[in-house]
Amino acid sequence: MSDGPRRLARMTYEEVAAACASGKGVVLMPVGSVEPHGPHLPLGTDTTISEVACERAASMLAADGLEVVLAPSLPYGVTDYARGFAGAVGVPEGALVAFLGAIVSRLVDDGWAHVCVVNNHLEPAHDAAVRASIGGLPKGRASVACPLTRRWGRTLSDEFKRGDCHAGRYETSLVLAAGEPVGDVRGELPSLGISLAEAIRQGKSTFAEIGMDRAYTGAPSEATREEGDAMYAKLAEMIATEVREGLVAR
């Protein structure tokens, strides 16, 4: 990632106190997962997407006069659908609610004007846990930015909207635009028109059961860096809007 936004972990406690006292301090917290994303993408793909989207949103929010800080990422999440594949390191839903909730609550207690949890791991139980983690906080103090909602999902690519986007063209494009490694094997992977979203609605509960034998669906061979940049612009707008609306709601 670039050196653009300030990093919470690199700040002193006095710098944090000053940012909070300004009334304009905003924290973006990337959330992701450690799980297989086909034979061509890293296990940390979801976390990388959240991190880069936060970086790009930070410059948009800074233009509003806000002091934007990136919190350390939370790279572990609920990964039940990937069970049976090597590299699927998940946590129970309750553990994520408690752990993430404690972190966000402490940030709010410190005096940050708003904390936005940015999630790009789209497993339904994971999304539910992320949202539950901020459920008891005062109005406008915290939000979740995630493209799983219709409001934001409909702004993204056709593949994303169809639901055949796990490690497909959509996510592979984002990883390319992030400058992260993508395996050459992606050019040899056949397109799979398996809608993960539809399979979940049908009650299927694992990648293997869905027919994602290599932990991907969609068309990774069609991915481009240009499409990734275009998708990051949409994700950054999603984050910036959630923060702006949260600040207004306080």
pLDDT of residue 1: 41
Average pLDDT estimate for 90-95: 98
- Beta-carbon contacts of residue 99 (< 8 Å; ≥ 6 apart): 74, 91
Percent of the chain at pLDDT > 70 equals: 99
pLDDT at 2 over 60: no
Which ranges constitute the DSSP H helices of the chain?
Answer: 13-21, 45-62, 93-110, 124-132, 150-153, 158-162, 169-178, 196-201, 207-210, 225-249
Residue 4 pLDDT level (bands cut at 50, 70, 90): confident
User: Alpha carbon of 119 to those of 28, 126, 137, 178, 237: distances in Å?
Assistant: 10, 9, 18, 16, 14
- For 56-81, the pLDDT digits (tens) are 999 999 999 999 999 999 999 999 99
Average pLDDT estimate for 120-133: 98
Average pLDDT estimate for 92-115: 98
- For 163-189, the pLDDT digits (tens) are 999 999 999 999 999 999 999 999 999
- For 183-240, the pLDDT digits (tens) are 999 999 999 999 999 999 999 999 999 999 999 999 999 999 999 999 999 999 999 9
| Spatial distance between the Cα atoms of 236 and 250, rounded to a whole number of angstroms | 22
pLDDT at 21 over 60: yes
- Beta-carbon contacts of residue 131 (< 8 Å; ≥ 6 apart): 144
Domains, the chain: 6-249 (3.40.50.10310)
